[in-house]
Structure 1
Amino acid sequence: MTRTPQSARTTTRGIPRILAAGLIVVIAAIAAALGYQSQNASSSSAPSPPSPIAPRSERPGSLGAGGAVPDGVTVFDDGYPAVANLDPDLLRALRAAATDAADDGVKFYVNSGWRSPERQNQLLREAVSKYGSEEEAARWVATADTSPHVSGDAIDIGRSNATAWLSEHGAEYGLCQIYRNEPWHYELRTNAIDHDCPHMYADPTQDPRMRQ
């Protein structure tokens, strides 16, 4: 019987242990890799967090404070106080007219509608600075106490095609241009439906309401 040297037996017995240890290392590495891939897959498939809620000042309902109107607002945009705070009868007439004007490819944009007293006074101060005197400014901007914009009874319509359409058809809805120097300024005169619009004032200084 041939005996295996002691050193050889020791080496032979150590091989399984080395293989086992190596196998454990390999299995651990594979498990870690699979776990990493699973984590990535879960992350990529998870739903995105919801968008943050816009601050109140950025929400449509709070835009146009005081009656300021950005470009593109129409008579149907209730999210703006300049529109929503108009006299209900005036607003109904405007929307009826705007609906019919749309058939002719005309849209009623709002340059100005209802205004707060603070905004009206600001506009008056700016007009005085622009025109050089209170007398000249009064031809374009009324005081907060007399302005029909503050009471919600007037609207300034944007775009020349809209004012041209109203000049021709406005009386059918009771919508009348009040001042000759302001072709954009319209107010409700229900008698105009049967009797046409009243004679226009040259400018607001000729309007008795402005002398209160």
Structure 2
Amino acid sequence: MPKSWFRPKSSLSSLSSADGVVPDGVTVFDDEVPAVVNLDPDLLDALRRAATAAADDGVEFYVNSGWRSPRYQNQLLREAVFAHGSQDEAARWVATAATSPHVSGDAADIGHSDAAKWLSGHGAHYGLCQIYRNEPWHFELRTRAIGRRCPPMYANPTQDPRMQQ
């Protein structure tokens, strides 16, 4: 999600790495960062295998966001409502704690743009798929994509049936 629409990080000051806040420069190999190590083990393994292959092309995978606590997810949703003016508009970018794949450890936001681009082109080989057209950094594990291709993307989270709970 574009960081530009969030208020400064000071509004997140009560949150910590224990909630899934990711310090700058974290990669998929950082085993001491809760946002990384609390990811689903199969997702993390796929990300690490893809990152190793991407490194051969001079691309490094940074984790902008991974696992998040419900508290952190709720704060992000409050920020999105503030920025977008309504719950409906915020839902295009941020899920509730009950529906977010970040809270369950099933999603990672990968940066920088060259890494997201590499993963968009090569991710299906590892089962890593971009899920939303409006979030080119957001990847989830879809093992059925291996040897095939990723499923069609949703325009944004409001189109994803998992978000309708």
Shared fold (TM-score, shorter chain, > 0.5): yes
Q: Deviations over 1:146-196 (max 9, x none)?
A: 000000000000101001100110000000000000000000000101221
1:210 lines up with 2:159 in the alignment: no
Amino acid across the alignment from 2:163: M
Give distance in 2, aligned partners of 1:168 and 1:204.
21
Give distance in 2, aligned partners of 1:65 and 1:173.
28
Q: TM-score under structure 1 normalisation?
A: 0.70
Q: CA RMSD in A?
A: 0.7
Q: Deviations over 1:41-86 (max 9, x none)?
A: xxxxxxxxxxxxxxxxxxxxxx612000011000000111000000
SS of the equivalent of 2:45 reads helix
Give distance in 1, aligned partners of 2:105 and 2:33.
13
Corresponding residue for residue 198 of structure 1:
151
Q: How does 1:126-145 map to 2 (within 5 A)?
A: 126-145=79-98
- In the alignment, structure 1 segments of 5+ residues that lack a partner are 1-62
1:73 lines up with 2:26 in the alignment: yes
Q: How does 1:154-173 map to 2 (within 5 A)?
A: 154-173=107-126
Give distance in 1, aligned partners of 2:101 and 2:109.
11
- Pick from 82, 100, 118 the counterpart of residue 147 of structure 1: 100
Corresponding residue for residue 122 of structure 1:
75
Give distance in 1, aligned partners of 2:152 and 2:56.
29
1:83 lines up with 2:48 in the alignment: no
Q: Deviations over 1:73-127 (max 9, x none)?
A: 0000011100000000000000000001001110000000000000000000000
Q: How does 1:38-57 map to 2 (within 5 A)?
A: none
Amino acid across the alignment from 2:159: Q
- Pick from 18, 30, 48 the counterpart of residue 95 of structure 1: 48
SS of the equivalent of 1:86 reads coil
Give distance in 2, aligned partners of 1:167 and 1:120.
25
How many residue pairs are counted as aligned between the two chains?
Answer: 150
Corresponding residue for residue 10 of structure 2:
none
Q: TM-score under structure 2 normalisation?
A: 0.90
Give distance in 2, aligned partners of 1:187 and 1:113.
10
Task: Extract structure 1 runs of 4+ deviating beyond 4 A.
Answer: none
Structure having greater relative contact order (Cα 8 Å, sep ≥ 6) = 2
Give distance in 2, aligned partners of 1:194 and 1:107.
23
Question: Comparing both structures, which one devotes a greater share of its residues to helix?
Answer: 1
Give distance in 2, aligned partners of 1:194 and 1:169.
11
Amino acid across the alignment from 2:58: G
